[in-house]
Chain A
């Protein structure tokens, strides 16, 4: 690990190189030890435990700890409700994420130049991010209430006729409702990241491009995008992972309904595990999700690193 030592100079030129080097090696492990211990306990143990339970057969009444083979995984492969839940989850990721990114970028541009009261604007725009997702879900349920909520009223003013859109019931409206709540809460997050990233774009390059008469789009593609790309990549990754575990907002708005139309993976796992006590089956589902995620994310991370 000599190469990894960031202080080769000190090691060579320092007064006591012999003593310092081994201490440094121990030091770096001491530094990670507490964090690793905590993560192992709360991160790794549950995963192993889940894997173990998934090959047993524990239900609400049967505490059957014997080895049961991969029967739950087989059932899972044929469980259309599980795959639908996965598909719903991916729909949320695929729709909400680009919306948040594009709106966030547009807002970042809007607030990039000097604007009266800009710091106040930015401060206030952060607020949705700080609201607890379960509270955000409840808030949107109030807003979208067909009778006591203001959204239908506003739409009514625009269309000129009284509206009773049933946002949590109508199959055409449940996805827009959930996505609206998601976009409301998390676009400001994207905005903040991108706003700061845009401010860091090298001005001299911009000027050079402008002098060359490059179009805005070309400048954006060749100068701005490469500069903000790391931020975009990380922001997208963070949000994609959050959307993948989407629970609170859906729970507050539709509970996965109508039927199981908006049921996400997290909600299905909660229903199976904590309402129906299919412990082993849920464990199998959980482990499957971990595998799917691990594979996807590893690929994506590698790709990002290569692109950089």
Chain B
């Protein structure tokens, strides 16, 4: 088509290229997956085994037997609840900024500047704060933290979507006698639904995958899956079978979630960014 250089490459050539690109990006995931199914002999075989002879689930079963697999549910709960909170608070704030320019540029800049602080910088004070509040190793603690950490992103993205909502709609609703809260809930939120989902996916993914905060702020009650993965590093050995199996347990759910929300994701993040 027109965007393409000189109508460019033939279809078949592009298809080959596309496949090559796909292989590059999927091969590491494939390799991780097969290690999870390999026997120890196959993991430590030389030359490396590309296709395991027998698919066996022992590496996963151990994780369920020892309860390590429960960390996936911790991740699910923490990421899920914090995403809901971040979306709710963030969208409210974004609406206020988009429609009323609340606080002006300075406020917007300050909000987004919070997204820039490297986690390692604030994790120690947060640890001490959580100690005072009794929030170390609790769901509440991590949910609060991830909500806060995702808010700037949500506000930034949702601001763009809200600006897209035609003003006339809201005006009409106001004239109809709805108050501003009702306008927000009944008119604006449905209009930005696509943006909400798209933003929520990334918010969720961030909370799901976050490592440093979880490493320092969990003990054993609410350990999330990335922290659990690192439990198999070092010590006497790197337990590659467990690392791979645990990684798969933590990665496959997110693949599934995103597969369901795919249409929002691809259209959504890009739109948000375009309008941002």
Chains A and B belong together in one complex: yes
A residues near B, CB below 8 A? 1, 4-7, 9-10, 13-14, 20, 23-24, 27-29, 31-32, 34-36, 38-39, 41-43, 45-47, 49-50, 53, 107, 109-116, 121-136, 138-140, 142-143, 147-150, 153, 184, 187-188, 192-193, 195-201, 203, 206-207, 210, 216, 224, 230-231, 234-235, 241, 244-245, 247-248, 252, 265-266, 269-270, 273-274, 279, 282-283, 286, 289-290, 293-294, 297-298, 301
Q: Please indicate the chain A residues that have their CB under 8 angstroms from the CB of B32 in the complex.
A: 135, 139, 142
Q: Could you say which of B6, B31, B144, B243 contacts A216, with CB atoms under 8 Å apart?
A: B6
Q: Could you say which of A7, A110, A230 contacts B171, with CB atoms under 8 Å apart?
A: A7
Closest 6 CB pairs of A and B: A196-B270, A42-B148, A132-B209, A46-B122, A245-B118, A31-B96
Q: Please indicate the chain A residues that have their CB under 8 angstroms from the CB of B151 in the complex.
A: 35, 38-39
CB of B234, distance to nearest CB on chain A (Å): 10
Contact A124 B44 (CB under 8 A): no
Nearest CB to that of B209 among chain A residues? A132
Q: Could you say which of A27, A50, A147, A210 contacts B121, with CB atoms under 8 Å apart?
A: A50
CB of A108, distance to nearest CB on chain B (Å): 9
With A142-B35, A147-B46 given, is the CB distance from A125 to B25 under 8 Å? yes
Contact A46 B126 (CB under 8 A): yes
Complex Cα spacing A301 to B6, Å: 36
B55 at the interface (CB under 8 A from A): no
B99 at the interface (CB under 8 A from A): yes
CB of B1, distance to nearest CB on chain A (Å): 5
CB of B244, distance to nearest CB on chain A (Å): 7
Contact A134 B230 (CB under 8 A): yes
Complex Cα spacing A42 to B127, Å: 11
Complex Cα spacing A130 to B163, Å: 28
With A45-B129, A133-B211, A142-B32 given, is the CB distance from A274 to B273 under 8 Å? no
CB of A222, distance to nearest CB on chain B (Å): 13
Name B161-201 residues within 8 Å CB distance of A.
167, 170-171, 174-175, 179-181, 184
CB of B117, distance to nearest CB on chain A (Å): 6
Contact B3 A130 (CB under 8 A): no
Contact A50 B274 (CB under 8 A): no
Nearest CB to that of A3 among chain B residues? B101
Contact B50 A138 (CB under 8 A): no
Contact A184 B148 (CB under 8 A): no
With A39-B114, A110-B21 given, is the CB distance from A128 to B28 under 8 Å? yes
B267 at the interface (CB under 8 A from A): yes
Name B110-138 residues within 8 Å CB distance of A.
111-122, 124-126, 128-129
Complex Cα spacing A23 to B35, Å: 61
A20-B174, A134-B229, A266-B120 known, 15 other contacts, Cβ within 8 Å: A4-B102, A5-B100, A7-B167, A7-B171, A31-B184, A32-B102, A38-B151, A50-B121, A110-B14, A110-B21, A184-B24, A203-B2, A241-B115, A245-B120, A297-B113
With A7-B174, A124-B22 given, is the CB distance from A197 to B274 under 8 Å? yes
Contact A200 B148 (CB under 8 A): no
B residues near A, CB below 8 A? 1-6, 11, 14-15, 17-18, 21-22, 24-26, 28-29, 31-32, 35, 43-48, 50, 89-90, 92-93, 95-97, 99-103, 109, 111-122, 124-126, 128-129, 144-145, 147-149, 151-152, 155, 167, 170-171, 174-175, 179-181, 184, 205, 208-209, 211-212, 216, 225-226, 229-230, 233, 240, 243-244, 247, 250-251, 254-255, 258-259, 262, 265-267, 269-271, 273-274, 276
Q: Please indicate the chain A residues that have their CB under 8 angstroms from the CB of B21 in the complex.
A: 107, 110, 125
Q: Please indicate the chain B residues that have their CB under 8 angstroms from the CB of A195 in the complex.
A: 270
Most chain A beta-carbon neighbours within 10 Å: one of B3, B5, B43, B89: B3
Q: Please indicate the chain B residues that have their CB under 8 angstroms from the CB of A34 in the complex.
A: 89, 92-93
Q: Please indicate the chain A residues that have their CB under 8 angstroms from the CB of B274 in the complex.
A: 196-197, 200, 230-231
Contact A142 B5 (CB under 8 A): no
CB of A298, distance to nearest CB on chain B (Å): 7
CB of B264, distance to nearest CB on chain A (Å): 12
Contact B147 A38 (CB under 8 A): yes
Complex Cα spacing A39 to B208, Å: 20
Q: Please indicate the chain A residues that have their CB under 8 angstroms from the CB of B250 in the complex.
A: 132, 135
